[in-house]
Every structure is written in C-alpha cells, then in structure tokens.
Amino acid sequence: MDNLIHIHYLRYKFNPKAIKPQAIHIKNSINDEWNGNIEFCRIWEYVVDKYLDRVKRMYHTGEQPVFLIHDETLGNDK
C-alpha cells in the first residue's frame, strides 16, 4: 500500500453503535435521490460488499466495469 490515494465515501459513515447497516434519512434534502447516509459499525465491510456487488452486476449484464474518478475537494465547492 502506497497511501497515495484517499477515497472518501460521503454517504457511508462509521457508527460504532450501528450493529447492522442503517439508512439515516436527512430531511429537507436538496436532492431527494441523495437524501441520506448509511451508518454501520464495520462500514469498511459494507463499502467492499457494495463495490463487489456493483462490479458483479456490470459483469453479468455483459458490460465492462466502469469506474468514475472525480477529483474534487470535500464539500463540493468546485
């Protein structure tokens, strides 16, 4: 591991009290499609599981996996 890339999942949050992944909805969200977070005590496992699920789904549809890398500051101010 070279520690050159840091990945920030803005909607996946560590919560030591969340024994299962929990959807936490945010009221009065600007965009209803993105109106909450997922919280979990082992959020890193959730992230890996979702990543693998999405790659498998692309593979089974015959599509080449596509990954979007977006360089932007946290806070979406650019």
Question: What is the domain range of residue 16?
Answer: 12-60
Going by pLDDT thresholds of 50, 70 and 90, the confidence category of residue 51 is: confident
Residue 23 lies in a domain: yes
What confidence score (pLDDT) does residue 7 get? 66
Band (54; pLDDT cuts 50, 70, 90): confident
- Residue 11 is predicted with a pLDDT of 83
Residue 67 inside a domain? The answer is: no
Q: Are 37 and 24 in contact (CB under 8 A)?
A: yes
The pLDDT score that the predictor gives to residue 18 is: 96
CB within 8 A of 34, min separation 6: which ones?
A: 11
At residue 22, the pLDDT reads: 93
The distance from CA 23 to its chain's CA centroid, rounded to whole angstroms, is 12
Return the SS3 of 24.
Answer: strand
Is 5 a member of any domain? no
* Mean local confidence (pLDDT), 17-35: 76
Number of compact structural domains in the chain: 1
